[in-house]
């Protein structure tokens, strides 16, 4: 069988390929000679590894992901951050740039309850311990702007191939946008209402082909 | 001997089935399944953190199904809230769905499945399982297969499938069965009534055949939501 990169909609338990020449990748499992999908999603094959990109589901954290979270609790040595995932994340003092003397500084003066931060997932232990870090050039605290949530499964589509889709949205609306892998989007300035419209449109039509072309076509038509 | 059924359906024919995926916008996944005049709405929340904390398992997720019949679902108003019957059915549904889910993929979390019966005319637990299985896959939860379920019985010597209210009273027995078609695994088998071993195995065979057809409908319903 040839390496076809045709994306195909698969359902849980559906056979993707019946061959021992392929390996089950993400969201797939092998039983006997066949590889089956674990989730509702689209299947693709690369380097003889069969994987499925899910179409729905809650955010499952991955090391190195940039996420947007809300400070939900302050503890003696760090902050608890709600990142819209199965478990809350923890931002320890060691994850913050610079030295903070806990005896002299109130931690809420650094990040207060309800603050939104853009942080990197630095460490994952045992599935429920998610550690964040602000030691990344992209990480920051949001002091203004707006936040919307979309389904985390649709984030790759919103970003597009090498950021093509998000670049298009930024160009056309003039908003400054930060996208968290957990489906939280922060944006400010430009045509904010238009940005929300586009986010929702991309979320709804994430599984269709040629979406970037469709949206850029939409703008071209408007110009006429 | 021919058995007269409502709507002129054949003994091996289900009631008209309607399946819809994604009916509860605030949930992670949801589905509505209708078998004639029995309607179930299932909504899946999670995987999410477990409270109280001592209930969580470090190696796998918990599956928590809550079945409830709404007060207006029956002819006579039924008392809202958990009852002996609904607690038992919740447990039975949990056991029927658990083998289909990769619970070990979600350690220290819980998957909540809330199933509300908004219209009851026999076969609520099987309709509930059908809806829950659709809702789980809509929620993007890792599963081995879809679960389909149906109940069967014997009326005047005829093997019938998908009993409705009146038929259930006329039938010698009631055998609900849940089934995973890919591996041909039965995940739920209950029986009440009085019948011979031969009758039992015939009804089970008929149920399994019907479950395969129901599973095809489930797949269609899921595809319909995503294929445009």
Reported as a pLDDT band with limits 50, 70 and 90, residue A224 is low
- Whether residue A96 sits in one domain with residue A126: yes
Q: For the sheet containing A28-31, what is the strand order?
A: A15-18, A34-37, A28-31
Q: A218 CB contacts (<8 Å, ≥6 apart)?
A: none
Reported as a pLDDT band with limits 50, 70 and 90, residue A68 is very high
Yes or no, beta carbons of B138 and A56 under 8 Å apart: yes
**pLDDT score of B155:** 93
Yes or no, beta carbons of B226 and A39 under 8 Å apart: no
Last residue of a domain, one of A142, A169, A195: A142
Q: What is the CATH number of the domain that holds A33?
A: 2.40.50.100
pLDDT at position B79 over 90: yes
- Topology of domain B6-226, per CATH? Ribosomal Protein S5; domain 2 (3.30.230)
Q: State chain A's maximal CA–CA distance in angstroms.
A: 67
Residue of A37, A39, A40 to mutate for B, most B C-beta atoms under 10 A? A40
| Contact residues on chain A for B99, CB-CB shorter than 8 A | none
Per the model's pLDDT, the better-predicted residue between B27 and A207 turns out to be B27
**pLDDT score of A1:** 41
Residue A60 located in a structural domain: no
Residue A126 located in a structural domain: yes
Reported as a pLDDT band with limits 50, 70 and 90, residue A58 is very high
> pLDDT > 90: what percent of chain A?
63
Yes or no, beta carbons of A12 and B48 under 8 Å apart: no
Reported as a pLDDT band with limits 50, 70 and 90, residue B228 is low
Give the residue on A whose Cα is nearest the Cα of B181. Answer: A13
Average pLDDT over residues A192-214: 85
d(CA A107, CA A19): 56
- Whether residue A138 sits in one domain with residue A171: no
On whether the CB atoms of residues B129 and B97 are closer than 8 A, the answer is yes
**pLDDT score of A223:** 66
Per the model's pLDDT, the better-predicted residue between A115 and B228 turns out to be A115
Per the model's pLDDT, the better-predicted residue between A8 and B178 turns out to be B178
**pLDDT score of A133:** 95
In the predicted model, what is the mean pLDDT of chain B?
94
d(CA B221, CA A206): 19
Is B222 in CB contact (< 8 Å) with chain A? yes
- Whether residue A71 sits in one domain with residue A42: no
pLDDT at position A166 over 50: yes
Residue A1 located in a structural domain: no
Reported as a pLDDT band with limits 50, 70 and 90, residue A2 is very low
Average pLDDT over residues A35-42: 94
Q: A80 CB contacts (<8 Å, ≥6 apart)?
A: A71, A72, A73, A74, A88, A89, A90, A91
The two three-digit tokens of residue B81, written as one number: 């809230």
Give the H or E element holding residue A146. Answer: strand A146-149
pLDDT in tens, B26-75: 999 999 999 999 999 999 998 999 999 999 999 999 999 999 999 999 98
d(CA B228, CA B221): 13
> pLDDT > 70: what percent of chain B?
99
Global pTM?
0.91
pLDDT at position A209 over 80: no
Is B145 in CB contact (< 8 Å) with chain A? yes
**pLDDT score of A161:** 83
Last residue of a domain, one of A142, A167, A187: A142
Q: What is the ipTM of this complex?
A: 0.89
pLDDT in tens, B120-148: 999 999 999 999 999 999 999 999 999 99
Reported as a pLDDT band with limits 50, 70 and 90, residue B173 is very high
Closest Cα to residue B181, out of B162, B157, B219, B208?
B208
| Contact residues on chain A for B53, CB-CB shorter than 8 A | none
| Contact residues on chain A for B109, CB-CB shorter than 8 A | 86-87, 128
pLDDT in tens, B1-10: 577 888 889 9
pLDDT at position B159 over 80: yes
pLDDT at position B191 over 90: yes
Average pLDDT over residues A124-131: 86
Average pLDDT over residues A33-39: 95
| Contact residues on chain B for A57, CB-CB shorter than 8 A | 28, 139-141
- Whether residue A153 sits in one domain with residue A211: yes
Domain ranges of chain B: 6-226
Last residue of a domain, one of A126, A142, A158: A142
Beta-bridge partner residues of B143 = B101
**pLDDT score of A3:** 46
Q: For residue A191, give its domain range.
A: 146-219
Q: What is the CATH number of the domain that holds A71?
A: 2.40.50.140
């Amino acid at each position: 069988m040839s390496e076809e990169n045709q994306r195909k909609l698969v359902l849980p338990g559906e056979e993707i390929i019946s061959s021992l020449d392929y390996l089950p990748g993400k969201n797939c499992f092998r039983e006997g000679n066949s590889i089956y999908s674990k989730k509702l999603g689209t299947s693709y094959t690369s380097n003889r590894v069969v994987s499925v990109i899910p179409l729905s589901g809650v955010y499952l954290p991955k090391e190195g992901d940039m996420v947007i979270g809300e400070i939900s609790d302050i503890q003696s040595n760090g902050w608890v951050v709600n990142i819209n995932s199965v478990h809350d994340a923890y931002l320890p003092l060691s994850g913050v740039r610079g030295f903070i003397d806990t005896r002299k500084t109130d931690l809420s003066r650094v990040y207060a309850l309800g603050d939104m931060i853009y942080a990197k997932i630095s460490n994952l232990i045992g599935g429920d311990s998610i550690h964040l870090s602000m030691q990344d050039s992209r990480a920051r605290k949001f002091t203004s702007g707006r936040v919307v949530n979309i389904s985390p499964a649709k984030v790759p589509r919103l970003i597009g191939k090498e950021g093509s889709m998000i670049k298009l949205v930024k160009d056309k609306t003039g908003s400054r946008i930060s996208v968290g892998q957990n489906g939280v989007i922060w944006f400010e300035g430009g045509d904010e209402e238009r940005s929300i419209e586009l986010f929702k449109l991309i979320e709804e039509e994430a599984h269709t082909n040629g979406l970037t072309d469709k949206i850029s076509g939409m703008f071209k038509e408007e110009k006429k | 001997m021919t058995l007269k059924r409502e709507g002129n359906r054949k003994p091996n024919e289900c009631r008209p089935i309607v399946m819809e995926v994604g009916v509860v916008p605030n949930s992670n996944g949801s589905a509505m399944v209708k078998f004639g005049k029995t309607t179930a709405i299932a909504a899946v929340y999670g995987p999410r953190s477990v409270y109280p904390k001592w209930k969580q398992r470090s190696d796998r997720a918990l599956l928590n199904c809550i079945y409830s019949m709404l007060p207006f679902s029956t002819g006579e108003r039924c008392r809202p809230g958990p009852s002996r019957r609904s607690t038992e059915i919740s447990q039975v549904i949990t056991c029927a769905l658990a083998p289909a889910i990769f619970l070990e993929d979600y350690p220290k979390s819980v998957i909540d499945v809330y199933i509300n019966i908004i219209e009851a005319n026999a076969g609520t637990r099987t309709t509930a399982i059908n809806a829950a299985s659709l809702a789980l896959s809509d929620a993007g939860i890792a599963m081995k297969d879809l679960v389909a379920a149906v109940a069967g019985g014997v009326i005047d010597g005829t093997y019938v499938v998908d009993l409705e209210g009146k038929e259930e009273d006329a039938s010698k027995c009631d055998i609900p069965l849940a089934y995973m078609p890919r591996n041909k695994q039965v995940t739920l088998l209950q029986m009440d009534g009085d019948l011979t071993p031969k009758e039992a195995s015939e009804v089970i065979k008929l149920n399994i055949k019907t479950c395969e057809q129901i599973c095809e409908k489930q797949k269609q319903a899921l595809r319909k939501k995503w294929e445009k």
